[in-house]
Structure 1
Amino acid sequence: MKIQSLGYILVETKNLSAWDHYGQEVCGFMKHPDFSDEEKLCLKIDHEPFRFLVQNGPEEKFILAGLELEDASALNDAKKTFDELNINYQQLSADDLFTRQITDGISFNDPAGNLIELYHGRLNDETKFTSPKGISGFVTKDLGFGHVVYAALNIEETHDFYINVLGFGDSDIMNLQMSPNPEDPKMKLYFMHCDNKRHHTVAIMQSPTPPSGLVHTMVEVKTIDEVGEALDRAINNDIHISSSLGRHMNDKMVSFYMQTPGGFDLEFGYDGDQPDWSKHQTTSSPAPSYWGHVFTPPPEK
């Protein structure tokens, strides 16, 4: 199986207006004028109809990620693979397909319980992306819109699923000492790429799933100034800064992290590495970052 890219995420919220303000005024995303309504907010960052689909619901949480396949044949092959391995999946309804602006797709859970959709055929959108905050553009196209990081206590089983069923490859592996006691076990993280040059499209970390449903997702802009300006906007709008500015060791991304209205984090970055997979050997980074990325938990409510 060859996953092409991360296509979209779906988020549930009790407060669409909070996401509307966050998406447009802080992140510089564009509210799609045709697909957004009283029940959903479609946030556009490029040529595709949208990358963030935020729907009204009873909770504040991340729901799922959509992973793109090349065509109908690739989706049929994925179904055959799942059937052979007795992996349960559901066909997306006509309403689901229309809401996501895709041709066809299925949904399933990974071994850690994370809900995923495989799809093909994103519909064309003639509405041009114009950032309300003047962002020149996000780094997307063949790379997809960014990455997602999931929690997985059963990390080896989940890793095996992504590698041997979904066809991802290992980019980097970390074993981090999170406790001041060196005798305590380390936390493992796998960073995995699909069939594009983004360093990782999915990562999994060895921890319980947070109440928000996701550790973080990421978007990438084209200049360091646009990262700094987004950081200013976040601070000026009283958004919790989960991590200070820093440069990651594995994908070289210069970024900061901020909390979304859904409780999970959004990494806002620049200058991510694009490895040549024909020459790449899986790395083992000894630390998350060369500098910066000082994490601060959100204040207690």
Structure 2
Amino acid sequence: MSEVKQLCYLGFGVSDLDAWRDVGTRLLGLVEGRELAGGGFTLRHDEYANRFFVTPDPSDDLLFVGLEVADADAVAALGERLAAHGVDSTPLDDATIAARQVEGGISFQEPGGVRFEAVYGPAKAGAFSSPVCTGGFKTGDLGLGHFVLRADDMDTTLDFLLNGLGFRLSDRIICDIGGYHVNIAFTHCNPRHHSIAVGGNLPKHIHHFMLEANEIDDVGKCWDRIVDAGLPVWNAIGRHPNDRMISFYAETPSGFQFEYGWGGLEILNDDEWNTFVYDRISDWGHEHPAAMCKKLFRRQKESS
């Protein structure tokens, strides 16, 4: 059993703060939290004060990951688990504790070099209300949502998650799509089907992060906002076979993607959970808009 309770926060280094502020609040329905020293701001989508740290950085990539544990004892236990796995950890300094608004924690690196932080006592900001995503987001004990981390070596990164952090394997997707080989492993630390997935052949440390709405209508409304705003869409609405989520994918101002979905499966009993290897990304939908348009135009031409 992992000491990690949930995915607590993500830190992004971005080159266009204004674009992120607009997309995050006006399009995704997040709420701005606070301004950060040195520039940047936080975004929230529940009672937690800081779910996303958006800071100025030319990398346009994932800078750090926050994992929540119960208390100082859990931090110590996780540090011992990591040490036994050959991963060094360091206590967070006072400046980082203040910046993250937590009571304490440790930092360490995953095999690809991204900074991970295990923290306890994250600050809360009271009830959440979004004027855009009116039904709110599914978080609570399930945490922020999920993200997909680049694995330069799949076996090494998966070993870090399963044996270093104590996550559990949910399932895998291995298939070929348009000449591109897909190999993704999905891991969980609570009932959410996956909090961290890993995949290879990615240009950035992060492929996408996921926000799960409480109501499917908020997914449809977000889809309309994204299309009207002209944000690049990578995958139209569809449903995944493993976590059963109905979702779409579009591009953030930093080039990596976000998934906006509803209806994700929960793993309520690990002893009764069977791990599968799926041979497809989606049961239906999730096509790239360009491919959809080509099909529609071809069929219209054939029928005329």
Please indicate, yes or no, whether the TM-score normalized by the shorter chain is above 0.5: yes
- The match for 2:187 among 189, 192, 202 is 192
For 1:254 and 1:36, the matched residues in 2 are separated by 34
For 1:76 and 1:35, the matched residues in 2 are separated by 31
Give the drift of 1:224. Answer: 1.3
Give the drift of 1:66. Answer: 0.8
Per the alignment, residue 60 of structure 1 pairs with 60
Per the alignment, residue 302 of structure 2 pairs with none
| Stretch moving more, 50-59 or 243-252 | 50-59
Per the alignment, residue 272 of structure 2 pairs with 279
8 Å CA contact retained: 1:162, 1:168: yes
- Cα separation, partners in 2 of 1:179 and 1:236, compared to 1, 3 Å: closer
| Stretch moving more, 51-60 or 241-250 | 51-60
Counterparts of 1:211-250 in structure 2, within 5 Å, are 211=204, 213-250=205-242
For 2:252 and 2:103, the matched residues in 1 are separated by 29
Per the alignment, residue 298 of structure 2 pairs with none
Give the drift of 1:38. Answer: 7.4
Task: Extract unaligned runs of 5+ from structure 2.
Answer: 291-304
Counterparts of 1:40-189 in structure 2, within 5 Å, are 40-126=40-126, 128-180=127-179, 186-189=181-184
Q: Are positions 1:11 and 2:12 aligned together? A: yes
Per the alignment, residue 287 of structure 2 pairs with 294
Give the drift of 1:119. Answer: 1.1
8 Å CA contact retained: 2:66, 2:117: yes
What secondary structure is seen at the aligned counterpart in 2 of 1:278? helix
What secondary structure is seen at the aligned counterpart in 2 of 1:5? strand
For 2:39 and 2:250, the matched residues in 1 are separated by 25
Amino-acid identity (%): 32
Give the drift of 1:98. Answer: 1.6
- The match for 2:252 among 260, 281, 286 is 260
For 2:37 and 2:286, the matched residues in 1 are separated by 37
For 2:98 and 2:193, the matched residues in 1 are separated by 31
**Amino acid corresponding to residue 165 of structure 2 in structure 1:** L
Q: Are positions 1:203 and 2:197 aligned together? A: yes
Give the drift of 1:261. Answer: 1.2
Cα deviations by residue, 1:177-236 (Å, 9 ceiling, x for unpaired): 1354xxx9x432111111x110001111122x414x311110100111100100111111
For 1:124 and 1:224, the matched residues in 2 are separated by 26
Per the alignment, residue 299 of structure 2 pairs with none
What secondary structure is seen at the aligned counterpart in 1 of 2:272? coil
> Per residue, is there more helix in 1 or in 2?
2
8 Å CA contact retained: 2:19, 2:253: yes
Rg comparison, structure with higher value: 2
- Cα separation, partners in 2 of 1:134 and 1:179, compared to 1, 3 Å: closer
- Cα separation, partners in 2 of 1:86 and 1:134, compared to 1, 3 Å: closer
For 1:85 and 1:165, the matched residues in 2 are separated by 6
Alignment RMSD: 1.9
For normalisation by structure 2, the TM-score amounts to 0.89
What secondary structure is seen at the aligned counterpart in 1 of 2:184? strand
Q: Are positions 1:251 and 2:243 aligned together? A: yes
Task: Extract unaligned runs of 5+ from structure 1.
Answer: none
